Amino acid sequence: MSSTAELGDVLRALAQLRTGVDELYARYGDTPVVRRVENDLQRLEIDVSELSTVAPGPPPQRSRGGRDTARGGGAEGRPPGEQEIVEVPDTPYVPSWWRGVDDEGVGGQSARQD
C-alpha cells in the first residue's frame, strides 16, 4: 500500500472521528472531558497533516514474535523486541519494613510505634 493510500485511510478515519466528537458536543455540551477529546483529535489532525510532508522511512524490522523492533525492547541479553518480564509477588509486605517511615497521606506525620 502506498503512503498516499495509507494517509487517505487515516484521513477517512479522522473524518469519522470528527463526526463522533461533534455528536459528543451535541450530547454532553462543552465539558472538560469533551474538550480533551476534541484537543486529542486536533492533535491527530495536525500530526497527520505534517506526515503528508515527510518522506516515508524504511519499514520496521520484525522479530521472530512478529513485534516491531523499532518500538523498543532489545535490552542486552535478550533478542530484539523481547520485553523483560518482572514478577511482582502478591504476598503482603513485612510491616517492620515500614516502621519509622513518614506517611505522606496524613500530613507527613510519622505514626508512633510504642
Residues written for the chain:
114
Residue 12 reports pLDDT greater than 90: yes
Rg from Cα positions in the chain: 25
Those residues whose C-beta lies under 8 Å from the C-beta of residue 60, and which sit 6 or more positions away, are 68, 69, 70, 71
Alpha carbon distance 3, 18 (integer Å): 22
C-alpha cell at 7: 494517509
Is the pLDDT confidence value at 80 over 80? Answer: no
The runs of H, that is alpha helices, within the chain are 3-28, 32-51
pLDDT category of residue 102 using cuts at 50, 70 and 90: low
pLDDT tens per residue, range 19-50: 999 999 999 999 999 999 999 999 999 999 88
Q: Which of 46-55, 58-67, 70-79 has the lowest mean pLDDT?
A: 70-79
